[in-house]
Amino acid sequence: METVGYLLALVAAAIHAYIFYLESIAWKKPAAHRLFGVREERDVQILTQVMFNQGFYNLFLAFGALGGALLGLGNSSVGRGLTLYCMTFMAGAALVLIGSNARMVRGALVQGLIPAVALVALLLG
């Protein structure tokens, strides 16, 4: 069960790296900012710096999940702890997203469902 948790953590890392790309690199492209519900060009400009910063939060979480999972697969207790922390952080952020804007439930599921399942798998493993 633990191996499944670490493999799901690697998937969660990839998802968060992609979110980094959308928020920090591709933000000004209509396909990217529309995923976040931003339609007006003025709003895109206002949010550019915030999204750039937010993207790096997601990238750093992805790095933590990647490192934790790789260490954890090698039976490292440090890797297990880091993975548990990152999965909890990702799932918690998804809950905050739903709580702050119920229309973002799809994004919250993309962001938080796999980390939540990974967390359960690791705790049961």
pLDDT digits (tens, 9 = 90+) for 39-95: 999 999 999 999 999 999 999 999 999 999 999 999 999 999 999 999 999 999 999
Q: What is the mean pLDDT of residues 17-25?
A: 97
54 CB-contact burial (10 Å; exposed 0-12 / middle 13-18 / buried 19+): middle
pLDDT (0 to 100) of residue 79: 96
One-letter identity of residue 30: P
3-state DSSP assignment of residue 8: helix
Q: Residue 16 pLDDT more than 90?
A: yes
- 55, 19 in Cβ contact below 8 A? yes
- Give the start-to-end residue ranges of the domains of the chain: 2-124
- Model confidence, pTM: 0.93
